[in-house]
A and B are shown apart, each in its own frame.
Chain A
Amino acid sequence: MEETIAIPTPGRRPWRRHLNKLRWLVLTLVFAMLLLLPMISLYQTYVAAHGYDLLSPAQQRFYDFMEMLTSPFTSDPEKGLDAIKGTTWSGRFFGLQLSDPLAVLGQIAAGFTLYWPFVLSALIPVAATLLLGRIYCGWICPATFLYELNSNVAALLRRAGLNFGRKRLDRRFKYLVLFLGLVLSAVFGSVWVALIYPPAIIGRELYYAIALNGFGVGAVFFVLTLLFDILVARRGFCRYLCPGGALYSLLGRYRLLRIRRDVRNCNDCVKCNAICEFGLNPMRDDFGQECNNCSACIAACPTDALSFGIAIRDLPNQGDGHLGPRYRRQRAAGKEAS
Chain B
Amino acid sequence: MSSEMNRRRFVAAALKTAATVLLASGLPAAKTLARGVIRYRMRFLRPPGALKESDFVARCIRCGRCAEVCPNRCIRYFDLENGLEATGTPYIIPREQACILCMKCGQACPTGAIQPLQHQLEDVLAGVKMGHARVEKQLCLSYQGQTCGVCYRACPLQGIAMRVGRLEQPHVLDGCVGCGLCERSCIQMPQAIRIIPAHG
> Interface on A for B, CB 8 Å cutoff?
37-38, 41, 44-45, 48-49, 85-87, 89-92, 97, 99, 103, 106-107, 110-111, 113, 115, 117-118, 121, 187-192, 194-195, 200, 203-204, 207-208, 211-213, 216-218
Contact = CB atoms under 8 A, between A and B. Distances in A.
B187 interface: no
Contacts of A44: 71
Contact of B69 (A41, A204, A217): A41
A191 B58 contact: yes
Interface-centre pick from A37, A38, A91, A188 (highest chain B CB count, 10 A)? A188
Nearest to A109: B58
B31 A187 contact: yes
Interface of chain A: mostly helix, strand, loop or mixed? helix
Given A37-B68, A194-B88, A187 B61 contact: no
Question: What are the 10 tightest A-B residue pairs by CB atom distance, in nearest-first order?
Answer: A111-B58, A90-B63, A48-B71, A110-B58, A194-B62, A216-B79, A190-B85, A103-B61, A189-B58, A41-B68
Given A38-B68, A45-B72, A217-B87, A85 B61 contact: no
Contacts of A216: 77, 79, 88
Contact of B30 (A106, A188, A195, A213): A188
Contacts of A191: 57-62
Interface-centre pick from B30, B54, B65, B85 (highest chain A CB count, 10 A)? B65
A189 B85 CA distance: 8
Interface residues of B, number: 37
Contacts of B87: 195, 217
A44 B59 CA distance: 27
Contacts of B80: 217
15 contacts: A85-B69, A87-B65, A90-B65, A107-B58, A110-B57, A188-B30, A189-B54, A189-B57, A190-B86, A200-B61, A204-B62, A207-B64, A207-B67, A211-B67, A217-B79
B70 interface: yes
Contacts of A111: 55, 58-59
A106 B62 CA distance: 11
B12 interface: no
Contacts of B175: none
B139 interface: no
B146 to A, nearest CB: 29
B110 interface: yes
Nearest to A186: B27
Contact of B110 (A117, A189, A194, A204): A117
Contacts of A200: 61-63
Nearest to B61: A103
A89 B59 contact: no
B58 A204 contact: no
Given A48-B71, A217-B79, A188 B31 contact: yes
A107 B51 CA distance: 14
B14 interface: no
Contacts of B73: 45
A282 B72 CA distance: 53
Contacts of B55: 111
A115 B59 contact: yes
A168 to B, nearest CB: 28
B34 interface: yes
A56 to B, nearest CB: 14
